[in-house]
Structure 1
Amino acid sequence: MRFIPVILFLLLAVLSLSLCEPRAKARSRADPLPVARPVPFNFPGKGLWNLIPSFSDLVRKVVPGAGEIFFLSKNVLAGTPSKVVSYYVNKVCGIASYWNVLKPNYAPQEADLHWELYSDNSVVSAPLKDPSPFIESKGFNPDLNITILVTGWESLVSDKLGEDVIDSMRKAYRQRETENLIVFDAGRFVNSLYRWATLNALWVGEVLGNALVHLSKKVNNPRIHLIGHSVGATIVGVAGRRYHGSTGEYISRITGLDPAMPCLDASIGLRKGDATFVDVIHTNSGVLGKREPIGDADFYPNGPVALPPGCLNVVCAHFRAVSYYVESVQPGSEDNFLAIRCGSIDEYNTKKCSGKRIPMGYSTPSYVRGTYYLETNAKSPYGQNSV
């Protein structure tokens, strides 16, 4: 019985899609969400159109009670063809947005927002609004650069991918000992696409931006590098803009690891100008991650593909950007991913591109601009220039 509302909703979705398609295609590309808007038209039995308002009421009642089916869990995502996921998730999002079912109204309790300093074998936690506990700890060096990772999907995915985002990043940076690594695990609040789509990323990003203002006032070296994966890329983009608005200065660098695409307001997403330098790695283009270039430098390992070598599902592909970046952090692996600037993937495939090859990841120079392509291995080490 619990699935009856879902079946009704899907039937309504199909009906709405058939009625809304012409109008949806005519919308401006600048719209933040792919919103489907039904357009009345003449057909036999026109009176049926008057039933649509009652459909709206029904949809509003059905979806909140069936959130676990309205948006797929990560387990379903892992076993669903990427094109199907991309098409239906975005179509359903458009319908839900039109009926005001899907709103960015989910925000964690402010008291639950913490960030953590990782040093050696210790972890020091502090409220997001007050970084004093780890600034005053022995593990924090005010003379070192600050790298802050913001996760964007439930990080504990070792049962599926064989790795943990936070742990792998911690181990990589620990080998360098040149930066303070701080983690804001926004992913703990995003364990389904329903939470992903309704997360108030604008609010979370502004809270983080305000926290960065306080942090920069208490250290000797205000050079900050924000790294955001998935929805985390949206959050760090907002944080960078908030920081600039409050201080008049820019965050030194923001790295987007496969910035999330479905159901998020594009108007608040990561983009060039959010930091002095914005670089982006795309690994699940057009499905869970954005396809279009959005940074100062955009890297497309294996081209704008949905599934890179070694990945058989979209979850693996979405996290592969993290794996590439982590490998590049490890000492001696900075040049594992050498990319070349190209106007298109066709030019790259036909070897019409020339110029200096640029390292993707940790050592990407802040002066590079444009779109870059490269190829990767199916398993670790992923970089084809690895020794």
Structure 2
Amino acid sequence: MKLLSVSLLLVLCSAVVTDCKPFELVSNIYSTVSDVVKAKLRIGSRLISNVPVLLPSFEEISEFGKQTILSYPLEAITAGIHTFCSAAVATNGTEPLFEPDLSRMNYVLMTDSGNYSYSLDHYEELWNSSFFSHQLNTVVLVTGWLTTINDANEAVDALYKAYRTRGTINFIVIDTASHLNTLYTWSSFNTNNLGESLGDGLAKLVQYVPVESIHLIGHSLGAHIVGAAGRRFQELKGFNLPRITGLDPANPCFNEGESLSGLSRGDADLVDVIHSNVRVLGKRDPIGDIDFYPNGLNSIQPGCYTIICSHSRAWEYYAESVYPGNERNFIGVKCNGLSALISGLCRRQKAVMGYAVSNNVRGNFFLRVNSDAPFGRKDVY
């Protein structure tokens, strides 16, 4: 049978191709078949050798169970709220309970000697204050729903403490008073107005300090407020703020292209985002120039058993990265997902997440984190 097949090929070769070399043709055919067989054997060998890697570990099985029990039902509930809120936004069917009263909201300059408050609509009092230094870098932090400076605000305390380890700095917190303590939908409607007010103040600030010294940080709804501030600043000044960091930007009610679009790339020269509670309280889609996904697209972070814990992890990761020596605690790899990263299927382009973020790369980066502090695993890939 083999001889007959070869004979037929030789006949066809001679009949169709004038310069046919029959024996060279037969040699090439056998060489190709041999290469295919060898390739199949190599693939089979690699699959067998990688069986221990491909099989899920006990930790991975446990993580899957936690996500299934704790996060997936909450994702479904949040999706319903998001759909309802988005429909209300699109039809202007919902209005805030009240418009922001700037006289009741404050810039709070935190120092070791105490906190100093200045009304949001009297920002120049702060920029001219003897407690505010024109020679120092300025960080402006805006927190989220149901938090104020008067509360025992863990995020504010942790970030201020972390930044103080780097020397003196103008550390300012926006105290939104009761304006983000109303029904969530009303609170979300207030983010644009509050952000524009902050943008007005920052447009005046650059008359006193170089724009390169300003960094805005926002957590949850606060991320969308600083995004609106960046857009307002650009409108007034014609150039961008250098950097805005979004810490698990709020998910419900915010859609790109709508009136509540929220934080997005372009709001500053660099918009870096840490997603820690995707599809529930935090957004899943990449919205920055560089987006980091610790623990991938899982809603519950390692060591957490509630969505609040996972939502807070974003600022905890960031605060850890601020401490000297921790700048490279969190290294992400450009990838399509965490499982692909773990399997070694991703490109090797890496980026630093947090305080010393890589500002020369763009895209989505995935990384693994620890269950307890220190959360960063450094460069373990």
TM-score range, shorter chain: 0.7 to 0.9
- The residue number in structure 2 matching 1:218 is 208
Q: Tell me, in whole angstroms, the C-alpha distance in 2 between the residues paired with 1:354 and 1:242.
A: 37
Q: Tell me, in whole angstroms, the C-alpha distance in 2 between the residues paired with 1:80 and 1:314.
A: 11
**CA drift at 1:136:** 3.7
The higher radius of gyration belongs to: 2
Structure 1 contact 284–305 (Cα < 8 Å) conserved: yes
User: Structure 1 counterpart of 2:219, which letter?
Assistant: H
In the TM superposition, what whole-angstrom CA distance separates every residue of 1:285-321 from its partner, at most 9, and x where no partner exists? 1111110101110000010111111111111111110
- The residue number in structure 1 matching 2:67 is none
User: Structure 2 counterpart of 1:107, which letter?
Assistant: E
- The residue number in structure 2 matching 1:120 is 112
Mapped pair 1:353 → 2:346: yes
**CA drift at 1:274:** 0.7
Structure 1 pair 97–156 and aligned structure 2 pair: CA distance change class (3 A): closer
**CA drift at 1:97:** 5.3
Matches within 5 A, 1:147-226: 147-155=139-147, 164-177=154-167, 179-186=169-176, 188-191=178-181, 193-194=183-184, 197-220=187-210, 222-226=212-216
Moved over 6 A (4+): 156-159
**CA drift at 1:365:** 2.2
- The residue number in structure 1 matching 2:376 is 383
Matches within 5 A, 1:1-387: 81-93=73-85, 101-104=93-96, 106-155=98-147, 164-177=154-167, 179-186=169-176, 188-191=178-181, 193-194=183-184, 197-220=187-210, 222-264=212-254, 266=256, 267=258, 268-385=261-378
Structure 2 contact 109–173 (Cα < 8 Å) conserved: yes
Structure 1 pair 244–98 and aligned structure 2 pair: CA distance change class (3 A): closer
Q: Tell me, in whole angstroms, the C-alpha distance in 1 between the residues paired with 2:132 and 2:188.
A: 35
Q: Tell me, in whole angstroms, the C-alpha distance in 2 between the residues paired with 1:263 and 1:334.
A: 33
Q: Tell me, in whole angstroms, the C-alpha distance in 1 between the residues paired with 2:221 and 2:237.
A: 25
TM-score by length of 2: 0.73
**CA drift at 1:363:** 0.5
Secondary structure of the residue aligned to 1:219 is coil
Query: How many residues end up aligned between the 2 structures?
Result: 307
Structure 1 contact 151–187 (Cα < 8 Å) conserved: no
Quick one: percent identity of the two aligned structures? 41
Structure 1 pair 163–200 and aligned structure 2 pair: CA distance change class (3 A): closer
Secondary structure of the residue aligned to 1:228 is strand
Secondary structure of the residue aligned to 1:200 is helix
Structure 1 contact 119–140 (Cα < 8 Å) conserved: no
In the TM superposition, what whole-angstrom CA distance separates every residue of 1:163-185 from its partner, at most 9, and x where no partner exists? 61111111111111253111113
Q: Tell me, in whole angstroms, the C-alpha distance in 2 between the residues paired with 1:80 and 1:362.
A: 31
User: Structure 2 counterpart of 1:116, which letter?
Assistant: V
**CA drift at 1:340:** 1.1
CA-atom RMSD in angstroms: 2.8
Structure 1 pair 119–91 and aligned structure 2 pair: CA distance change class (3 A): same
Q: Tell me, in whole angstroms, the C-alpha distance in 2 between the residues paired with 1:79 and 1:156.
A: 27
Structure 1 pair 198–237 and aligned structure 2 pair: CA distance change class (3 A): closer
Unpaired segments ≥5 residues, structure 2: 1-69
Q: Tell me, in whole angstroms, the C-alpha distance in 2 between the residues paired with 1:138 and 1:221.
A: 20
Structure 1 contact 271–294 (Cα < 8 Å) conserved: yes
**CA drift at 1:342:** 1.3
Q: Tell me, in whole angstroms, the C-alpha distance in 2 between the residues paired with 1:188 and 1:362.
A: 30
Secondary structure of the residue aligned to 1:245 is helix
Structure 1 contact 256–280 (Cα < 8 Å) conserved: yes
Structure 1 pair 349–186 and aligned structure 2 pair: CA distance change class (3 A): farther
Q: Tell me, in whole angstroms, the C-alpha distance in 2 between the residues paired with 1:213 and 1:106.
A: 26
Structure 1 pair 326–198 and aligned structure 2 pair: CA distance change class (3 A): closer
User: Structure 2 counterpart of 1:244, which letter?
Assistant: Q
In the TM superposition, what whole-angstrom CA distance separates every residue of 1:230-257 from its partner, at most 9, and x where no partner exists? 1111111111111111111110100000
- The residue number in structure 1 matching 2:38 is none
Secondary structure of the residue aligned to 2:121 is coil
**CA drift at 1:197:** 4.9
Structure 1 contact 223–251 (Cα < 8 Å) conserved: no
Q: Select between 191-200 and 350-359 the one with higher mean Cα deviation.
A: 191-200
**CA drift at 1:81:** 4.8
Q: Tell me, in whole angstroms, the C-alpha distance in 1 between the residues paired with 2:177 and 2:283.
A: 18
User: Structure 2 counterpart of 1:185, which letter?
Assistant: D
TM-score by length of 1: 0.72
Q: Tell me, in whole angstroms, the C-alpha distance in 1 between the residues paired with 2:153 and 2:200.
A: 31
